[in-house]
Amino acid sequence: MRYNALNILREGLRGNRGWRPAWRKPEPRGSYDIIIIGGGGHGLATAYYLAAKHGLSNIAVLEKGYLGSGNIGRNTTIVRANYMLPGNSEFYSHSLKLWEGLEEELNYNVMHSQRGIINLFHSDGQRDEFARRGNMMISQGDDAILLDRGGVCEMLPYLDYEQTRFPVYGGLYHPRGGNARHDAVAWGYARGADSRGVDLIENCQVTGIDIENGQVTGVQTTRGQIRARKVGIVVAGRSSQVAAMAGMRLPIESHVLQAFVTEGLKPCIDHVVTYGMGHFYISQSDKGGLVFGGDLDFYASYAARGNLPMAEHVVEAGMTLMPMIGKARVLRSWGGIMDMSPDGSPIIDRTDIKGLYLNCGWCYGGFKAVPASGDCFAHLLATDQPHRVATRYRLDRFETGIGLMDEEASGAQHNLH
């Protein structure tokens, strides 16, 4: 059933009795052409594009919890295309273009808001680095404007410009960046995939991967065995555990990342703002809460919750930059498990096992990647060829050392990206 003004009016007059659930609750069948493990943003988008672009619908998405219960519903919702290195640059540029048409494509309001992102810089050296990044973004066809301190002050008058330790020198403004409602993205893709015949199977945990003579033949689940000749692993923070079911050891470490939200306030922060000298980023949700986050908790873990030292660190950074937020009360904090790769860039590739495909390593930047990741992974699953914007996301770069994409020059340490 399409969402449009006429249907809203019609249903309003009929007591809203005609709306149907956004997706079915099918029982798993014995076999499918393709199984996607993981009903997060990336898994659902993959299923959607397999059906919408490649005409395949004999597909199941197997989700151990409920759809959207993972990181897709836990992130701070920032969407941007401000990457610098070849490989990342064209991929995220493609993703932002897909975001710009997503609501029409899905007939679903994902509340994509291009309110602009401002990355602050605090030294001459950092200005040079941001100018270079901005030029790379423009060469890629995206938008970037280098602001001096006065330019930032006009847009963000509430920052503490006088702080002596890390004074604000300026900012790199990316007007097409912004955010979107995270769980609506999962729901929109789920509805789109379901309406094209994909079975979305919740409460179905994959517990084993069946392989015969080097070829995938299906999966074992808490709801029985399901056969398939192609299986895609798209489980974010659980990638290492699920790949281990196929005997693979991935170059992935799982780390905790926390986020925070305050009570609802009147509109006071119009953009997404990131601090250049501490790991702190903030925006205001449409409900009025200030949504902010910081760095990883710096220990590997599968517990989707954080601890207090990082909470203190994040709040300190926020208070240094914009002391006004000290008046707001923090309502909630939560954590998600990040699939950190050694170079901070993702993997979308085949594996050595025939029919087994891998999509992981999104670190803490995978929300903005959802549309392009789904598009590219669907392309790989359907055609066995990498999508033109994802050719560099190879798994073997960590074995050969060729083609590493260390966007922030942090070195080969997972938790630094």
Ligand X SMILES: Cc1cc2nc3c(=O)[nH]c(=O)nc-3n(C[C@H](O)[C@H](O)[C@H](O)COP(=O)(O)OP(=O)(O)OC[C@H]3O[C@@H](n4cnc5c(N)ncnc54)[C@H](O)[C@@H]3O)c2cc1C
- Contact pick of 49, 108, 130, 364 for ligand X (by CB under 6 A): 364
E-strand spans in 186-244? 199-201, 206-212, 215-221, 224-227, 230-233
| 70 binds ligand X per the rule CB under 6 A | yes
- Contact pick of 198, 216, 259, 321 for ligand X (by CB under 6 A): 259
How far is residue 21's CA from residue 187's CA, in Å, rounded to a whole number? Answer: 11
| 368 binds ligand X per the rule CB under 6 A | yes
- Contact pick of 32, 51, 75, 126 for ligand X (by CB under 6 A): 75
Q: Shortest distance, CB of residue 360 to ligand X, whole angstroms?
A: 9
- Phi/psi for 333 (5° steps) reads -135, 160
Q: 315's torsion region: left (phi>0), alpha (psi -120 to 50) or beta?
A: alpha
CB 121, CB 130: distance < 8 Å: yes
How far is residue 193's CA from residue 197's CA, in Å, rounded to a whole number? Answer: 7
Q: Shortest distance, CB of residue 56 to ligand X, whole angstroms?
A: 19
Nearer to ligand X, 27 or 399 (CB): 27
- Contact pick of 31, 58, 69, 220 for ligand X (by CB under 6 A): 69
Residue located via tokens 């409920």 = 66
- Contact pick of 188, 232, 276, 366 for ligand X (by CB under 6 A): 366
Q: Shortest distance, CB of residue 254 to ligand X, whole angstroms?
A: 11
- Contact pick of 34, 38, 93, 170 for ligand X (by CB under 6 A): 38
- Contact pick of 99, 367, 393, 398 for ligand X (by CB under 6 A): 367
DSSP string over 42-106? HHHHHHHHHHHHH----EEEE-SSSTT-SGGGTS--EE-----STTHHHHHHHHHHHHHTHHHHH
Cα separations in angstroms, 367 against 44, 74, 180, 225, 372: 13, 10, 9, 31, 10
| 362 binds ligand X per the rule CB under 6 A | yes
Note the maximum CA span of the chain: 66
Q: Shortest distance, CB of residue 333 to ligand X, whole angstroms?
A: 9
- Site for ligand X, residues 326 to 345, rule: CB under 6 A: 336
Q: Shortest distance, CB of residue 194 to ligand X, whole angstroms?
A: 16
Contact stretch for ligand X (CB under 6 A) within 64-72, 146-154, 350-358, 385-393: 64-72
Contact stretch for ligand X (CB under 6 A) within 14-22, 32-40, 50-58, 118-126: 32-40
- Contact pick of 257, 269, 282, 389 for ligand X (by CB under 6 A): 257
Chain centre distance of CA 51: 21
Q: Which of these, 104, 100, 185, lies nearest to 142 by C-alpha position?
A: 100
CB 274, CB 119: distance < 8 Å: yes
- Site for ligand X, residues 121 to 180, rule: CB under 6 A: none
Binding site for ligand X (CB under 6 A): 37-43, 62-65, 69-72, 74-78, 205-206, 234-238, 242, 257-259, 293, 336, 362, 364-368
